[in-house]
Amino acid sequence: MAAQDILTILEQVESGKLSAHDAHVLLKKKPFDDLGFAKPDHHRAIRQGEAEVIYGEGKTAEQIASIADSLSANGAASLLITRLSEEKAAALQKTHKMRYDTISRLGIIGTMPEAEGRGNIVVASAGTSDMSVAEEAALTAEFLGNKVVRLYDVGVAGLHRLLSNLDCIMSARVIIAVAGMEGALASVIGGLADCPVIAVPTSVGYGASFNGLAALLAMLNSCASGVSVVNIDNGFGAGYLAGMINRIER
């Protein structure tokens, strides 16, 4: 049951079109399904504003399909599936109308919403090698109804590339900075912007980058104010958080 369904029920009780007893029966609908291997959460949208997102890694295509069907049957108009391999995506597309993005490994069942966020979310990546994580963040934010501006390959190795986009950076409502190696991009952007900056360290880099640990520690120790950090390669988490920030009224 979606949040809008709850509001409709309450409005009908207020207007006298629905009795309190009947409303109680409707609201008693089971908040989750027990599929044995999973328990899809049908009240996630009521609590958090968005339906449950399906994490695809470690699940079979059949399990993902069952979870998606359960969520759809209980009011989820659109579904996001993260970390979805091409093989599983191909299997799901045989039974579900799903858009699949090979770069971000995201699957989207249903339609993308119109952008209703209050401003632009800028997703900036240091290098082309960071694009898979950056696209995961960007598409997640778009799925949540936000306008996203992409600035790719603007890392500090060629600072003029970033500085040529100052107007875009300074007018953003939220910025997601995606970088591997030494992770310096987040600090540079944090020193230029007056909005929250969400730093995403990636596992891109040579040996001493320790699969993203060097970038993570650098971002956690950023001297720029207003920089927060999500986990290594967690583009989804950054996109989701940016969407939440962009819905807050100033």
Domain ranges of the chain: 49-109, 120-247
CB-CB contact of 236 with 140 (8 Å): yes
Position 29 scores a pLDDT of 62
Give the integer Cα–Cα distance in Å for 202 and 212. Answer: 5
pLDDT, tens digit, 9 for 90 and up, residues 205-226: 999 999 999 999 999 999 999 9
Share of the chain above pLDDT 70, in %: 95
Query: Is 63's pLDDT higher than 80?
Result: yes
Q: Give φ, ψ of 108 to 5 degrees.
A: -125, 120
Instruction: Extract the tokens encoding 120.
Output: 């632009």
CB-CB contact of 219 with 201 (8 Å): yes
pTM of the model: 0.86
Strands of the sheet with 120-125, listed across from one edge = 147-151, 120-125, 174-179, 197-201, 227-229
Q: Which residues pair with 143 in a beta bridge?
A: none
Position 112 scores a pLDDT of 84
**Which range has the worst mean pLDDT, 43-52, 65-74, 129-138, 159-168?**
43-52
Query: Is 94's pLDDT higher than 70?
Result: yes
Q: Mean per-residue pLDDT for 52-76?
A: 91
Instruction: Extract the tokens encoding 185.
Output: 């991009």
pLDDT, tens digit, 9 for 90 and up, residues 65-88: 999 999 888 878 899 999 999 999
- The residue among 107, 193, 182, 122 whose CA lies nearest residue 152 is 122
Share of the chain above pLDDT 90, in %: 70
pLDDT, tens digit, 9 for 90 and up, residues 227-243: 999 999 999 999 999 99
Statement: 120-247 belongs to CATH 3.40.50.1970:
yes
Q: Which residues pair with 177 in a beta bridge?
A: 124, 199
Instruction: Extract the tokens encoding 103.
Output: 């770069």
Position 139 scores a pLDDT of 97
Position 37 scores a pLDDT of 83
- The residue among 91, 36, 112, 30 whose CA lies nearest residue 67 is 36
CB-CB contact of 125 with 184 (8 Å): no
Position 73 scores a pLDDT of 83
* Backbone region of residue 187 per phi and psi (left: phi > 0; alpha: psi in -120 to 50; beta: other values): alpha
Q: Mean per-residue pLDDT for 147-155?
A: 95
Position 26 scores a pLDDT of 63
Instruction: Extract the tokens encoding 174.
Output: 């939220």
Give the integer Cα–Cα distance in Å for 183 and 205. Answer: 10
Position 205 scores a pLDDT of 93
Q: Mean per-residue pLDDT for 14-35?
A: 75
Give the integer Cα–Cα distance in Å for 24 and 174. Answer: 40
Specify burial of residue 248 (Cβ count, 10 A radius: 0-12, 13-18, 19+): exposed
Instruction: Extract the tokens encoding 63.
Output: 């399990």
Mean pLDDT of the chain: 90
Position 189 scores a pLDDT of 97
